[in-house]
Structure 1
């Protein structure tokens, strides 16, 4: 594989034109869309319109005239097209952490009469998921049991109430077989809660086909909704009207503007709303969603997945061919069925500094710290909407130069920032 080969692949790429939807800084190869997606070109004008026209001129009338009121459901339907959910099953609202609190509460409420007292999750799950689960278990008399992925499904005993997993692991890029794991959980009487933060917009997800129970996900990673963009929540139709989520705010009421003193939950997933919705942020999220949905005429998530695998395959191949002997080890699974849309490398020394040296060159990835059981990670996300094969070649070329010159040993690259 040569640079000319990579350019030839870009010339043949049916998705290449989708890159024009984004504002990409000149000289930057952005491999961090798994942490914060890039800015859609439509977003600044749309957000300005919401602020200056809909808020500035329409004022409170815009809840009706500009369609603000039903934005969570309307955007939820757009997310649903990316995650295998039916219309009316998803709402965009709040943060991933808050939505996880809601759905985990509902799932545990559903299992309360069974006597099951365990919530099972991966030890390497994203920390906020574990923190929320730990807090919830403490409040409700359950116990959080942390496992390695290799222990599934054997760990799903009659003591387990809920299995809470992130579909694509944030550190390694390893992807679970959602359908098989959900089936194993249900066979054991266990409900599933899936975090799609590193899946939605990156890999095909089929919530209904997998018969999952609850799911939440992030709006600012592969959905390009902007920093801190609203997240989303999905509840299977068989559960949607059974339980009142714990944050029973007025926006989740069946008729918020009746202003009654007692709570009556809205039908379906709308009861998973809470307070007044962040309209400016939702407008930004819609722009991001529209950039992903623009791939539908070109094959949708299947086409994005095909290119994602080609990009990550190429990156793995080039790193191993060109950077061998520099202490890098592949952490991400090679098997396509087990890989998300990122490639993670480990190194015994200098992982953080190498990432910082790459960022200084315009190759933006990120670093995730290890512990006694896991190494430090150099993490690179590959978003097929705006990345090409030449970008992959050039990113590996920069990595090689950083390693060969030992540029990463410079003091400024070893000074830890607050955000890594």
Structure 2
């Protein structure tokens, strides 16, 4: 490993003071420590594993799988998608039981829920989405639009912002079937006005599908209260489910009876073990399931959900705001002289839990940072995202990370 990162003593003292005052600081010890990593600033891409996840995986092998064998399906695993989905909904989504299921990947659930949304609005021909959304969202919608003969209505958000309610109002109308947006922009980190945009889409008679990948576990959500129709999100970022962890899908109860999805698998059937000749969907959210639940991959996120349940999302959100505010403050102090631009809203109420910094040399800088044990991520063409996972990221890590960026630019 290359030379250590040497902090300005005043910055080091400020970060230490903030860590000392942090009511959530003790929870950092719940996560596996990565030797040689001086600052992990990519929890918005892959969260650190918890020590409890290691123990839970071992316990599954030794007991439910190892001793109960096939009997464990009847005893617990068959209900895992909806049981764990209810936990995700209660702890992080503001969703009552029976509306959330854990299954598949984000891409597959986006595909399913997009088709479901379009079937809820037959005869309508337009879908609203934005050009800065994550590629998966755009690619899935482009493919479905091509096969179903739909028109895509594109929104182009501000470079350092997200989609506004006014922009949605300008492109929705009587032909709008679906509005697909992200609650937090994956580049800029801007937090969308979920309730306002949802109301505008509903006034046009459209269904709204929210991508919560960069929001769940980092900010407070109120899907039921905001009258959200559909939502999808991953669990390997702020829910710390690990690489390949399954996604979750949310469908408001008012849509369950009309819900159809295009991948009709046996696990979503009314009676999977009847082995019927024809498919009959299960009642409620269960019909969104297709294949065998990924039982092993569900285990790690349970530990993080337990932790979030203990701490509470209001406290997590408060820490997120504090971390992003400190990041912007230090970036202004250390990096502005190198023409680094903060490409994230400066109002903490409009930010999620990451901050985008931009500079034309950041591809090279990111590679150098990784060699020094400072781990952010690079987003083309010129962005470094400082990902701040509230329960595992310290203020000291932010100070180390931004100082290392300054070193590499200096």
| TM-score tier after normalising by the smaller chain length | over 0.9
Equivalent in the alignment of 2:380: 369
Which of 62, 79, 84 in structure 2 is aligned with 1:70? 79
Instruction: Say yes or no: does 1:257 pair with 2:273.
Output: yes
SS at structure 1 position matched to 2:210: strand
Equivalent in the alignment of 1:415: none
SS at structure 2 position matched to 1:282: helix
Instruction: Say yes or no: does 1:10 pair with 2:19.
Output: yes
Residues 353-398 of structure 1 deviation map (CA, whole Å, 9 limit, x = unaligned) = 111111111111101113xxxxx21111101101122222222221
Instruction: Say yes or no: does 1:105 pair with 2:115.
Output: yes
Q: CA RMSD in A?
A: 1.4
Instruction: Say yes or no: does 1:127 pair with 2:139.
Output: no
Distance 1:241 1:17 in 2: 45
- 1:32-47 aligned at under 5 Å gives the runs 32-47=42-57
SS at structure 1 position matched to 2:253: coil
Distance 1:45 1:307 in 2: 27
Shift of 1:252: 0.6
Shift of 1:12: 1.7
Distance 1:320 1:336 in 2: 15
Q: TM-score, normalised by structure 2?
A: 0.92
Which of 345, 352, 356 in structure 1 is aligned with 2:367? 356
SS at structure 2 position matched to 1:209: coil
Which of 177, 201, 206 in structure 2 is aligned with 1:161? 177
Equivalent in the alignment of 1:322: 334
Given that residues 36 and 227 in structure 1 are in contact (C-alpha distance below 8 angstroms), is that contact kept between their aligned partners in structure 2?
yes
Instruction: Say yes or no: does 1:392 pair with 2:398.
Output: yes
Q: How many residues align?
A: 391
SS at structure 2 position matched to 1:5: helix
Residues 319-340 of structure 1 deviation map (CA, whole Å, 9 limit, x = unaligned) = 1112222121111111123211
Given that residues 18 and 294 in structure 1 are in contact (C-alpha distance below 8 angstroms), is that contact kept between their aligned partners in structure 2?
no
Distance 2:354 2:77 in 1: 35
Which of 286, 292, 303 in structure 1 is aligned with 2:302? 286
- 1:170-319 aligned at under 5 Å gives the runs 170-295=186-311, 300-319=312-331
Equivalent in the alignment of 1:379: 385
Instruction: Say yes or no: does 1:50 pair with 2:63.
Output: no
Residues 134-161 of structure 1 deviation map (CA, whole Å, 9 limit, x = unaligned) = 1111222212222123532211122211
SS at structure 1 position matched to 2:254: coil
Shift of 1:304: 0.9
Which of 56, 61, 66 in structure 1 is aligned with 2:71? 61
Shift of 1:62: 1.1
Which of 56, 78, 94 in structure 1 is aligned with 2:104? 94
SS at structure 2 position matched to 1:120: strand
Distance 2:18 2:317 in 1: 16
SS at structure 1 position matched to 2:378: strand
Q: TM-score, normalised by structure 1?
A: 0.90
In structure 1, runs of 5+ residues without a counterpart are: 371-375, 405-420
Given that residues 51 and 280 in structure 1 are in contact (C-alpha distance below 8 angstroms), is that contact kept between their aligned partners in structure 2?
no
SS at structure 2 position matched to 1:145: strand
SS at structure 2 position matched to 1:91: strand
In structure 2, runs of 5+ residues without a counterpart are: 1-9, 157-162
Shift of 1:290: 2.4
Given that residues 101 and 249 in structure 2 are in contact (C-alpha distance below 8 angstroms), is that contact kept between their aligned partners in structure 1?
yes
Given that residues 355 and 366 in structure 1 are in contact (C-alpha distance below 8 angstroms), is that contact kept between their aligned partners in structure 2?
yes
Residues 182-230 of structure 1 deviation map (CA, whole Å, 9 limit, x = unaligned) = 0111111111000000000011111111111100000111100010100
Higher relative contact order (CA 8 A, sep 6+): 2
Which of 125, 139, 152 in structure 2 is aligned with 1:144? 152
Shift of 1:95: 0.3
Shift of 1:10: 1.2
